[in-house]
Amino acid sequence: MEWENVINNIGFWYNVFIEWYNSAPIVAQVLAIIGIITLLALTITLVYYIIKGIAYLVYYIFKGLYLLLKYIGYGFYRLTEGFYFLVSGKKKPSKQEISHKNIQNTTINQNSYILEYCSECGRRISERMKLHFGKNGMAFCENCGKQLNLNHALRTLTVSH
């Protein structure tokens, strides 16, 4: 029953507006259209920013929950890790030891790369050339003829790091 009253009320005020609009001078009609378009644009903009704000709110709530759970899990991991080292009697490796191992692994990988490819032409080095590297520390590329020196390659590798 109440919806009928609302619809009747809207219809009544719409008819009043149409009567006023038809009886108004042309300048008032143009200004009324401009005002209605302005109110529609402002309403659409307001609704857009409200929806955008709600979306940001939901996004940051979920992001905060994710980070909260992530760091609670990380804290639990650190706690169990510390308990493990306490119970097992093993010494926890320091960050300096870990970074030193990473540097050694990187150097080994890059040395094997130096022994695998020619620095001039980029082609793979043959097994014979690897044997020459092992004996003399130098070899000539079978493809381009460039002299490859292992000691020079290692020095440039350590200087670049």
* pLDDT, tens digit (0-9, with 9 covering 90-100), for 9-62: 999 999 999 999 999 999 999 999 999 999 999 999 999 999 999 999 999 999
Residue 90 has φ and ψ, to the nearest 5°, of: -75, 155
Q: For residue 132, what pLDDT is reported?
A: 75
Q: For residue 102, what pLDDT is reported?
A: 55
Q: For residue 11, what pLDDT is reported?
A: 93
Mean residue pLDDT across the chain: 82
% helix / strand / coil in the chain, to the nearest 5? Answer: 80, 5, 15
* 158 band by pLDDT with thresholds 50, 70 and 90: very low
* 120 closest CA partner among 137, 98, 103, 142: 142
Q: Higher confidence at residue 103 or residue 27?
A: 27
pLDDT higher than 50, residue 157: no
Q: What angle do CA 153, 157, 159 make, to 5 degrees?
A: 120
Please tell me whether the overall predicted TM-score, pTM, comes out greater than 0.75 for this model: no
Q: For residue 45, what pLDDT is reported?
A: 98
Q: Higher confidence at residue 43 or residue 85?
A: 43
Q: What is the pLDDT of residues 37-47, one digit of tens each?
A: 999 999 999 99
Residue with structure tokens 């540097």? 103
Contact status, residue 95 vs residue 101, Cβ threshold 8 Å: no
